[in-house]
Structure formats: structure tokens, C-alpha cells
Amino acid sequence: MKAKALLNLLPIGAVAVVGWVYVSSQWQQSQAKRPGYDDPAAPSPVPGLVPKPQSEPADVINVHDGDTITVMQGGQKLKVRLCGIDAPELSQPLGVQSRDNLRSLIASAGNQVILYISDTDRYGRKVAELYVPAHNPQQPEEEKLLNDEQLVAGMAYVYTKYASRCPNGRGYAQMEAKAKQQRRGVWSDPTAMKPWDYRKTPR
């Protein structure tokens, strides 16, 4: 009797196994369609064109200089350092212009940014890439990467020591090269301190 009962259960068990294998394979296929999912051949992010950062919007309450801001995010006040770039201090040549350029970029987005936080520095500041809408009617989802914008405007230098830690850091040198070629910002003023000078000053 027991053997007969087991034989009756076999078809049910086989159907269950086949069903599980089918569902599992469908799930794996759907996951494999996600960009970069376990795919070593997936293309690297293009500067300014990475997927929208997985972070909540933050309200900017102060722009300290060309590479440091303070935001309110989730009811918490955060001091944020822009990843991989270094701007002149306010007391140094073009320091005020650098701050004002970043302030203008942020104001154009209603003083709200998207943070992609990648680290915390030794001063407790969040290190992040900053994004705002690009206001492109043809591509409403497109965003500007403000780290790029500061570099291409000549309002900051690539901070080579840390740029490799940024999601789009590999593209920063290209942005800086554009500013240098067109003699924008810090590259147009022969009196402006270069990175090897101003990084020696207290921050």
C-alpha cells in the first residue's frame, strides 16, 4: 500500500520540480537583462551618463566653496565634499568665482541635488558626485554631473589622488583637458595657484 501511495505521488512531485526549474530559469533570465548584471563585458559608465544614483534628493543649504556644500537629507544635515575634484579656496585666485559657479549650477535646479555618496573623509564629510536635471526637453531624464561641470568650466582641478575612487573619476581628466585647452577659469589666469601650490595651504 505504501509503495502504491508513493507511486501516486511521483507525478505530482515531478510537476513541482519542473515548475520550480522553469520559474528559476525565468528569474535568472530577467536578472541577466539588467545592465551590468554579473557581466564583465558590460561597458564602463560614461561621465555624466551613469544611471540615476540610488539616493534621495537633498536640499542644499550652503555652498561653502567650489567643492564643498552642506545639505539637508532625510532630516539630517550633511557636509558634502565633491568627489575627485579640488577647487581653489575662497582666499585664493578664482576661489570666489569657483564657489559662485557651483552655487549657480545648484540654484538652476531649485537648490536641490541628487547625491551619489561613495565615501566619508577623515573630517566626517560625505564624499559624493552631485547631479541635477539637465533640463533637456528631448531627454527629460538626463542629468548633469556637477563634478564634471566644475572641471569643464575651469573652476576646479582633478584631484588625481582620489579621482579613481569616484564612479565617473576616469572621465574627469578629459573634462579638465577641455578647460585647459580653451584656457577657461583657473587655466586662463597666470596668477592662479595650481594644485601643487594651493594644496600645501591649510584647508
Which amino acid belongs to residue 63? V
Q: Is 184 a catalytic residue?
A: no
Residue 119: HSE in the Cβ half-sphere, 13 Å Cα cutoff: 14
Rounded CA-CA distance 62/71 in Å is 7
Residue from 34, 56, 89, 129 carrying the catalytic annotation: 89
Residue from 34, 99, 103, 125 carrying the catalytic annotation: 125
Asked whether 116 and 131 are in contact (CB, 8 A), the reply is yes
Q: Is 199 a catalytic residue?
A: no
Rounded CA-CA distance 114/129 in Å is 8
Asked whether 166 and 84 are in contact (CB, 8 A), the reply is yes
Rounded CA-CA distance 31/51 in Å is 17
3-state secondary structure of 201: coil
Pairing of strands 112-120, 68-73: unpaired
Rounded CA-CA distance 70/155 in Å is 19
Residue from 81, 99, 129, 149 carrying the catalytic annotation: 81
> What are the start-end ranges of the H helices in the chain?
2-32, 95-107, 146-152, 160-163, 172-181, 195-198
Q: Is 89 a catalytic residue?
A: yes
Which residues are annotated as catalytic? 81, 89, 125
